Structure 1
Amino acid sequence: MTMRPALTQADSVYERLKTDILSCRLRPGAKIRINEVARELEVSLGAVREALSRLAAEDMAVATAQKGFSVPDVSIEDLLDLTETRIKIEDLCIRASIKNGDIEWETGLVAAFHRLQRLPETETANDKRILSERWAAAHQQFHEAIVAACNSPSLMKIRAVLYAQTERYRRLSVPMRTIDRDVAAEHKAIFDAVIARDANLAVTLMDKHLRLTTEILVDSLSNNAAIAT
C-alpha cells in the first residue's frame, strides 16, 4: 500500500485557508493577517506565507504590495468569465475521459453518483439555508469522477482551479437562492449520458448545468449587494 507523505506546516495551512475561503468563512475582500493565522494555527510565519503564495498562484488569494494578502472579491464579470472558461475545459476533459475510461472508471463514477443522490444539498441553521458540507464533498467527487479518465494532468490541474473558484460563488449564493431547480435530475441526466458514452450529449448537458448555475448566481449577486460583505 502506498503511504501518503505527511503534510508539512505549509500544507496544513494551505488546506485550512482554502477550506475557509471556499466555505466563505473568510468573506470576499477580507484581509488575511499572517500573524493571526500563524498564532491561531500554531505554525510559523514562513508556513503561512508559503501557503498564501500557493493560494495566490491559484487565484484563491490576492497579494498586494505593502498590504499583504486578502480574499479575492466577487463580481458578475469574473463569474461569467470563469463559467465560459470552465465550460471549455470541462468539454475537453469529459470527451477525453469518455474516450479513455475503463470499467474501473465506470465503477468509480457509479459509486460517486450513488453517494451524491443519497445526500441532501442543504441544511437549515439559524433560519438560513446553507450548503451541506457532506453534499458539497460528494458533489465535487461526482464531477471529478466524470473526468477521472481524462489522462491529462495539465487539463485536470486547470479544471481543479476553475472548479474551486466557481464553487466559492455557488456557496455564497445558496442562502439567497430564489430560483428553484432540480439539481438531482440534472446530475442524473449527465451521469446517464456519460455512462452511455455519449460525449456530445454529456458536454451539452454539462454546459446547460453550469450555465444555469451561473444564471442563479448572477441573480443572487444582482439582488443581494451584501453578498460580498
Structure 2
Amino acid sequence: MSESSSITRIAYDTLRGDVLSCRLAPGTKIVIADICKERGFSPGAVREALSRLTSEGLIIAEPQKGFRVTPISREDLLDMTEVRANIEAQCLRRAIELGDLAWEGRIIAIYHQLARTPERAAEDASRVNDSWAKVHHQFHATLVEACDSPWLLRIREMLYAQSERYRRLSVPLAHQTRELDREHHGIMQAVLARDPDQASVLIGEHLRKTTDILLSSAVLQSSA
C-alpha cells in the first residue's frame, strides 16, 4: 500500500468512526478545511474518504452545498430495523446449519470477551466504551460467520453500520432498563443449541429494543 493510500485509509477509518459514534452528529455539515485542520489530513485524502462514506450511505453529497452526515428519522429506523432483523435471521439460519465446532468455540470466546468488557466509557457513563463497541461488532459478526452467502453477509454488515448510529444514540436513554448481557447470552445459547427459530426470535427482539428506546424519546423526528 502506497503512503497516499495509507493516509486515505486512515482518514476514512477516522471519519467513519466519528460518524458511527455520533461524534459527527446526524445532519452535521462537513467542512473539509476544518477536518484537515483538526485531523491533519490533506484535502485529497478527506475528499476520497467522504466519497467512500457517501457510497456507504453514511454521508450525503449535496450539489453546490458539499457534504453532510446522513440524517436519521423515525421512518428510517423502523424500516431498517425490520430489514435488518430479517437479514440477521437469514444469516443465522445458514450459519447454524453449516457452522462447525470451531465456529462454536469462537462464539463462546468472543462472548466471554464481550461479557468482561465494560459497556460504558469510564470517563462518561452516557457514552459507549469504544473497546466494547469493537467486541460487540465482533460478537455479532462471529454469530453469522459460518453463513455461506457473501451477499447476505455484505448486506448484513452494511445494515449493522447504519444501525450503529442509532444504537449509540440509545445508550444514554436506556438507563438501567436493558440487560444486554442476558440478551447476548440468550442469542448465543440459541445458536449453540442449533435452534434457528429461537435464535431468529431473540435477534429480532434484541434489535427492536434499541428501536423502542429511541421511539419513546424525543431524539428522533419524523421526516414527514
Give the TM-score normalised by the residue count of structure 2.
0.90
- CA drift of 1:25 comes to 0.9
> Partners in 2 of 1:191 and 1:118 — Cα distance?
15
- CA drift of 1:38 comes to 2.8
**Any idea what SS the aligned residue of 2:61 has?**
strand
> Partners in 2 of 1:177 and 1:84 — Cα distance?
21
The corresponding residue for 2:191 is 194
The corresponding residue for 1:74 is 72
The corresponding residue for 1:211 is 208
Q: Evaluate the alpha carbon distance shift between residue 88 and residue 124 of structure 1 in structure 2; reply closer, same or farther with a 3 A threshold.
A: same
**Any idea what SS the aligned residue of 2:67 has?**
strand
User: Number of paired residues?
Assistant: 220
CA RMSD, 1 decimal: 2.1
Q: Say whether the 8 Å CA contact 1:109–1:142 is kept in structure 2.
A: yes
The corresponding residue for 1:148 is 145
Task: Report which stretch shifted further, 139-148 or 7-16.
Answer: 7-16
- CA drift of 1:33 comes to 1.4
Gaps of 5+ in 1: none
Q: Say whether the 8 Å CA contact 1:179–1:216 is kept in structure 2.
A: no
Q: Evaluate the alpha carbon distance shift between residue 225 and residue 81 of structure 1 in structure 2; reply closer, same or farther with a 3 A threshold.
A: closer
Q: Say whether the 8 Å CA contact 2:190–2:199 is kept in structure 1.
A: yes
> Partners in 1 of 2:220 and 2:78 — Cα distance?
17
Deviations 1:28-79 (A, max 9, x none): 1111112222333333322211111111111111110011111111111111
Task: Tell me whether 1:136 sits opposite 2:141 in the alignment.
Answer: no
Q: Evaluate the alpha carbon distance shift between residue 39 and residue 123 of structure 1 in structure 2; reply closer, same or farther with a 3 A threshold.
A: closer
Q: Output aligned runs, 1:93-108, within 5 Å.
A: 93-108=91-106
The corresponding residue for 1:38 is 36
> Partners in 1 of 2:199 and 2:62 — Cα distance?
41
> Partners in 2 of 1:119 and 1:179 — Cα distance?
17
Q: Evaluate the alpha carbon distance shift between residue 225 and residue 46 of structure 1 in structure 2; reply closer, same or farther with a 3 A threshold.
A: same
Gaps of 5+ in 2: none
Q: Say whether the 8 Å CA contact 2:173–2:213 is kept in structure 1.
A: no
Identify the match of residue 166 of structure 2 among 166, 169, 194. 169
- CA drift of 1:125 comes to 4.0
> Partners in 2 of 1:56 and 1:212 — Cα distance?
28
Give the TM-score normalised by the residue count of structure 1.
0.88
> Partners in 2 of 1:73 and 1:179 — Cα distance?
28
